[in-house]
Structure 1
Amino acid sequence: MSKIICVGRNYREHAKELNNPIPENPILFIKPTSCISRFEDIGSTLSRYEEISYELELVIQIDEINSDNAISGIGLGLDLTRRKLQSHLKSKGHPWERSKSFRGACPLTNFVDCKSSVSDFDHLNIQFTLTINNEVRQAGHINQMLFPVSQIIEDSHQEFGVDAGDIFMTGTPSGVGLLHKGDHLIVTLLKDENIIIKKETII
């Protein structure tokens, strides 16, 4: 793995809730691998920074971009954001890596095998949810994405190159918000309506 490729505003309702325009092409940015942490370590990340927002996303792992089964696995991740800092940096016209690429900004679950071609993946029945303190805060399905995974991977490969082991964070549905000490988080990933990943932690 050499990088984490992320997609911004890939769900219409999420763009609306942040008062952002609907993009015409995938908005891509990269997190370094130093952002990666375990899902269970969110609490320690929260203790180091102020006002962290959560964004649950489907995460895809690439095996070999030119193989018939380019996609090797799927999991879940949180794109953690220091929202106040991000807004400040944007207002100054500055890069906003400090708000998206800090240590622990990409807590991940485990990955499960999901060997698929890029073109076939968009037709799978995959959905995911985030529950905080027994309330469903986010729920998404890959058919709600503005830009399909095939387009995201193709654009990314043209722009950056995609290496074996790279992972894609495919965007977040509406319902983002702040994390608080003591929150009980549960994330679930379903394929064909069967739970294939379920993780929980109290932060």
Structure 2
Amino acid sequence: MKLVRWGNKGSEKPGVVDREGRVRDLSGVLPDVAGEALGAASLDRLGAIDLAQLPLAPADARLGPCVGQVGKIVCVGLNYSDHAAESNMPVPAEPVLFFKATSSLSGPHDDVVIPPGAQKVDWEVELGVVIGKEARYVSRERALDHVAGYCIVNDVSERAWQIERGGQWDKGKSADTFAPLGPWLVTRDEIADPQALDMWLEVDGKRYQQGNTRTMIFDVATVVSYISHFMSLQPGDVISTGTPPGVGMGQKPQPVYLRAGQTMRLGVAGLGEQQQRAVASTVDTTHA
């Protein structure tokens, strides 16, 4: 299944994509694509529904983040060896973990806002993993049993704040709109192998990133197991698993960063596409 959340920001409704690519309204069936609704029993019940009996959402409905009530966004840094190289950082011996604030979540086609004072805003197409069952000290062999499905994450980053402002990556990762999520949460049964997915990203039609999840240093099962030994993972938590090479920071002979008015388009095989326009912040910080 391809689950979505549609409607105005802050009041999204649950939905499912039918075989014709139309969004069907699930609000009469479950309250949200969140929490217990992501468990195996719930997904099995949804899979048995005759989608033709569900009302259609408006054709022009906005898509919100494909998961609601996200408790935490755990990210894996430098998880592709060639990306570590372009970042001038060593290949890690263990997964590098950091967080994005949940307030950074936005819809897959919402504008990405360049914050006041930001000069080095960058892009990162990533495979997102959505937890469906609590994971605590799970083995690698059982890790995927705790996954509800997969989605696209654009791990938008302000590199100066990430790298040059005291060593806390979270500061460069957590601005509002810096975590577009979706368009769909694709349930695990539809993705035969999460380590065989092509992924790409373009800015204004120029292809910058082209990769495949098979080149991850730490695969999805390893990452889920590893994180679960440091913190419990709850239904609805999102893991962003790292990005292949081609980020703006790594461009030669000099880095390239997002400017207001540019458009990012990105995709992961089987998980759809996102598109965001970069816009300048309208916040007046003069008297903040």
TM-score normalized by structure 1?
Answer: 0.84
- Alpha-carbon separation, structure 2, partners of 1:131 and 1:60: 22
More helix by share: 1
Are residues 1:133 and 2:204 paired? yes
SS of structure 2 residue aligned to 1:129: strand
- Alpha-carbon separation, structure 2, partners of 1:2 and 1:121: 26
Shift of residue 170 of structure 1?
Answer: 0.5
- Alpha-carbon separation, structure 2, partners of 1:10 and 1:2: 23
Please list every run of 5 or more consecutive structure 1 residues that lacks an aligned counterpart in the other structure.
none
Following TM superposition, the consecutive aligned residue runs of length 4 or more in structure 1 with deviations greater than 6 angstroms are none
Q: What is residue 181 of structure 2 aligned with on the other side?
A: 108
More strand by share: 1
Q: What is residue 182 of structure 1 aligned with on the other side?
A: 261
Are residues 1:80 and 2:156 paired? yes
8 Å contact from structure 2 (residues 104, 174) kept in 1? yes
Query: Which aligned pairs between 1:1-203 and structure 2 lie closer than 5 A?
Result: 1-43=70-112, 45-46=113-114, 48-51=116-119, 52-65=121-134, 69-90=145-166, 94-116=167-189, 121-122=193-194, 125-177=196-248, 178-191=257-270, 196-203=271-278
8 Å contact from structure 2 (residues 211, 244) kept in 1? yes
SS of structure 2 residue aligned to 1:159: coil
- Alpha-carbon separation, structure 2, partners of 1:47 and 1:31: 15
SS of structure 1 residue aligned to 2:109: helix
Root-mean-square deviation (CA), in Å? Answer: 2.4
SS of structure 1 residue aligned to 2:269: strand
Aligned residues: 193
Give, as a single letter, the amino acid of the residue that structure 2 aligns with 1:145: M
**Bigger Cα Rg:** 2
8 Å contact from structure 1 (residues 58, 169) kept in 2? yes
Please list every run of 5 or more consecutive structure 2 residues that lacks an aligned counterpart in the other structure.
1-69, 136-141, 249-256, 279-288
- Alpha-carbon separation, structure 1, partners of 2:217 and 2:127: 14
- Alpha-carbon separation, structure 2, partners of 1:2 and 1:20: 30
Higher RCO (CA < 8 A, seq sep 6+)? 1
Shift of residue 121 of structure 1?
Answer: 4.5
Range 60-69 or range 33-42, more displaced: 60-69
TM-score normalized by structure 2?
Answer: 0.61
